[in-house]
Amino acid sequence: MRLLAALLLLGTLAACGLRPVYSGGAQGQVAQGLAAVEVPAIAGRAGWLVRNALTDRLDPAGSNPTPRYRLDVLLDDKLEGLGLLTDDTIGRERRTLRARYQLVDLETGEIVLDATAGSDAGIDVVSSEYATIAAEERALENLALEVADQITARVALFLGETR
């Protein structure tokens, strides 16, 4: 009876339409498609961090095949003060990193994906200026990784749908 129930459950799971994005591992269609995405330079320190993270995620093996797509990324990095203290100094900051990205098919020049990604982080402003600057930089590094993860996931979904 349990075997029959398990087989019925497997049958319904197959009918749900879910399929693994990275099936086939490094030789799978999506992994090969991600490796064929080139990422040109992105302006600024945030751009450098995001580009490096994207390069690491899109082609972790470093195979560098002939590019089929180009990923154009435009970043908006903001650092704003929040929470005034009694002596009119800022007690908290918010760092926001937003990205608008377009995946361009290099054969046709057509934009096949146009989307956005973003994340934000709160930073405590402390009496040590060095500690505050270090926290701001660490927040930017973390945000760059988060934005790169979001972009990679969306591009992988797109490539999984179109192949």
At 125, which amino acid appears?
V
**pLDDT for 27:** 59
What percent of the chain has pLDDT above 70? 85
The fold adopted by the segment(s) 25-162 is: Double Stranded RNA Binding Domain (3.30.160)
Tell me the per-residue pLDDT of 83-127, one tens digit each, with 9 for 90 and over: 777 777 788 899 999 999 999 999 999 999 999 999 999 988 888
Query: pLDDT category, 30, cuts 50, 70, 90?
Result: confident
Tell me the per-residue pLDDT of 38-55, one tens digit each, with 9 for 90 and over: 999 999 999 999 999 999
Look up the pTM and report it: 0.82
Domain spans of the chain, in order of start = 25-162
